[in-house]
Amino acid sequence: MSHQQYPSVLLENAVNEFSRLPGIGRKTALRLALHLLRQPVTEAVKLGEAVIKLREDIRYCRVCHNISDTEVCQICSHPGRDTSTVCVVENIRDVMSIENTQQFRGLYHVLGGIISPMDGIGPADLEINSLVERVKTDGIREIILALSTTMEGDTTNFYLFRKLAPLDVKVTTIARGISIGDELEYADEVTLGRSILNRVEFSDSYK
Amino acid sequence: MSHQQYPSVLLENAVNEFSRLPGIGRKTALRLALHLLRQPVTEAVKLGEAVIKLREDIRYCRVCHNISDTEVCQICSHPGRDTSTVCVVENIRDVMSIENTQQFRGLYHVLGGIISPMDGIGPADLEINSLVERVKTDGIREIILALSTTMEGDTTNFYLFRKLAPLDVKVTTIARGISIGDELEYADEVTLGRSILNRVEFSDSYK
């Protein structure tokens, strides 16, 4: 769309900015902007300020590197969490996903990505040294590697394992296998093969 | 999702505000917020300020009621437009749609809605009196009613026609018929029937 087709530069700017967001095309951006025009001024101000404050005021926990409103995040500073177990994840969203399962009461360590030579991301770009430091000083007994089950995830798992093996810590990875509710005939061969190799005692599988 | 599941109140606020927008659920809102966290601060500030300025500084053309950055919009003040023909539309988006066709060089009049008793919108809520005033004073020779082909659109068309009939102005409506590229067998009966009743000279139909 050319400039001429917007009746207002203010509208055009808002459409331009909205459409820079992932998954938002110019049509959707226009719909969002026109919606805001029909709302009270306070609505637009609340949205605008929330967006600016989010980016300007956000902090990262100095222990686990998750986002936080405080120097140490609410998970790291929670008295009820098991500080001897640390789950290593790629990003903030993974922390939220695992928290949602309510199956984990330990702490986290957010790498900030995974090793991906294709994208130019090497070990030095990730929070790996700080993880090693935590293991050396914080009395951690188990590190759970909870990375994507992709080539990059596997590469990162191996790299981390090599770094952590000399230290006095148990290293585990999340279980890989058939998704709950899936029928075997639709599972891919690699997953099915792994799920047989990594079979568990029947009684343990319903823990 | 409960409060606990967000690692930051700033993030939670941004997700809340994004998810108030139409068609944006909490998952998408989270994706947008996390995307902004990965961008430079300036990106978030530009989006936030565009949203606030759009709503705070927007003006409406005092002639046609389209949105505008100036007291009279760029269409109404354009020297090349045909001021004797005014197209009546429901909203801003309809103006943009018709402008995109590049088939119309007249002016517009934005009603700000259509008569809809179900939604509690009556003639007094719309820019109808100002339309009648324009016809009385601005030398308008033709009013084109370009409203939705719905019950509410028809009701509004009839109401406007009654108001305009006593005045010295021709009143037309946009053509209704089979969409270009449609096959007859898939057209609905009402549209097909209308398209036969309102048939035009063959040579006129390719104007």
Stretch A137-149: mean pLDDT, rounded? 90
Domain count, chain B: 2
Domain with B138 in it: what CATH number?
3.40.1360.10
Assigned domain for A186 exists: no
- Whether the pLDDT of residue B88 is over 70: the answer is yes
Both B53 and B80 in one domain: the answer is: no
Subunit contact A7:B66, Cβ cutoff 8 A: yes
Both A73 and A118 in one domain: the answer is: yes
- pLDDT tens, residue by residue, A10-69: 999 999 999 999 999 999 999 999 999 999 999 999 999 999 999 999 999 999 999 999
Q: How far does the CA of residue B94 sit from the closest CA of chain A (Å)?
A: 12
Stretch B45-67: mean pLDDT, rounded? 95
Both A19 and A108 in one domain: the answer is: no
Both B83 and B137 in one domain: the answer is: yes
Q: Which H, E and C letters describe chain B, residue by residue? A: CCHHHCCCHHHHHHHHHHCCCCCCCHHHHHHHHHHHHHCCHHHHHHHHHHHHHHHHHCEECCCCCCEECCCCCCCCCCCCCEEEEEEEECCHHHHHHHHHHCCCCEEEEECCCCCEHHHCECHHHCCCHHHHHHHHHCCCCEEEECCCCCHHHHHHHHHHHHHHCCCCCEEEECCCCCCCCCCHHHCCHHHHHHHHHCCCCCCHHHC
Domain with A30 in it: what CATH number?
1.10.8.420
The model's confidence at residue B132, banded by pLDDT at 50, 70 and 90, is: very high
Structure tokens belonging to residue B58: 């927007």
Both A32 and A97 in one domain: the answer is: no
Interface check for B77 against chain A (CB to CB < 8 A): the answer is no
Assigned domain for A9 exists: yes
- pLDDT tens, residue by residue, B66-84: 999 999 999 999 999 999 9
Stretch A150-158: mean pLDDT, rounded? 90
Assigned domain for A182 exists: no
Both B114 and B27 in one domain: the answer is: no
Assigned domain for A202 exists: no
Distance CA B68, CA B74 (A): 7
Answer positive or negative: Cα dihedral of A123, A127, A133, A138: negative
**Nearest one of A128, A144, A146 to A136, comparing CA atoms:** A128
Both B51 and B81 in one domain: the answer is: no
Subunit contact B54:A13, Cβ cutoff 8 A: yes
Assigned domain for B113 exists: yes
* Residue range of the domain that includes B152: 75-174
CB A71: neighbour CB atoms within 10 A? 12
Residues of A in contact with B74 (CB under 8 A): 7
Q: How far does the CA of residue B140 sit from the closest CA of chain A (Å)?
A: 22
Of all residues in chain A, the one with the smallest CA distance to B93 is A34
Both B110 and B143 in one domain: the answer is: yes
Assigned domain for B97 exists: yes
Task: Report percent pLDDT > 90 for chain B.
Answer: 66
Task: Report percent pLDDT > 70 for chain B.
Answer: 95
Subunit contact A6:B96, Cβ cutoff 8 A: yes
